[in-house]
Amino acid sequence: MDSAFVQSILYSPPEILGKQLMPYCAGHEFLLCSIGSPLVDGGQVSRDDIATGLFVCSMTFEGGVEAIREKSYLRDVLEWGAAAGPWDGEDVYLEWIDYRGTYTQFPQVWSKVGTAAGSGAPGAWATVVSLIIATKGAFTESQAWNMPLCKAVCYIETANDLHTKERLMSDTEREAISADQS
């Protein structure tokens, strides 16, 4: 079993600055990208960027969409940031990196001929669409947007393992496991 999948189920997202975060999902990635957050796009990160990231990741995808549509999130982030009191931006940023990093660990995949094909997830939208298509509609759109990102990618890769030219492990690894179980 892939450690990224196990982690996606067993890891409890942290509370940072009084905000209980949700599992980091494709919806969070999409929302942060849509507002140009350097937390996902790279670049110089400010305390406001960190506070916005924590705020967005403390709600469901749908809640974040509503807040951004109404533009209320800017006021809400400022109010919450003031209520959080003084905080060390660098320490909180490191907590953010750990939180997001936990949910962006993806399985290594191999081609069926045994050569490494790489790892990683497609963009947030592509992840949601791929999850729904690969699992033949087993998940609703809302479930796909809100599913922990690494869990969604594991489901996609497992479906790909069954139906395409990529596998989650090489033929050699599969043979070794089979021989060990005999």
Q: Report pLDDT digits (tens) over 79-138.
A: 887 888 888 989 999 999 999 988 887 766 655 555 444 444 456 767 777 777 777 888
What CA–CA distances, in Å, run from 93 to 38, 46, 49, 52, 179? 12, 9, 10, 12, 46
Closest residue by Cα to residue 144 from 127, 159, 158: 127
Give the mean pLDDT of 135-144: 84
pLDDT of residue 45: 94
Residue-averaged pLDDT of the chain: 81
- 60 or 154: which leads in pLDDT: 60
* pLDDT higher than 90, residue 61: yes
pTM: 0.75
Range ranked top by mean pLDDT from 36-45, 99-108, 117-126, 161-170: 36-45
**Per the structure block, which two tokens stand in for 72?**
């209320």
Mean pLDDT of 19-36: 93
DSSP symbol at 118: E
Residue ranges of the domains in the chain? Answer: 3-103, 108-181
* In the chain, beta strands by DSSP E: 15-16, 19-20, 108-111, 116-119, 166-167
Question: What integer pLDDT is reported at residue 71 of this predicted model?
Answer: 78
Cα 134 to its chain centre, rounded Å, is 18
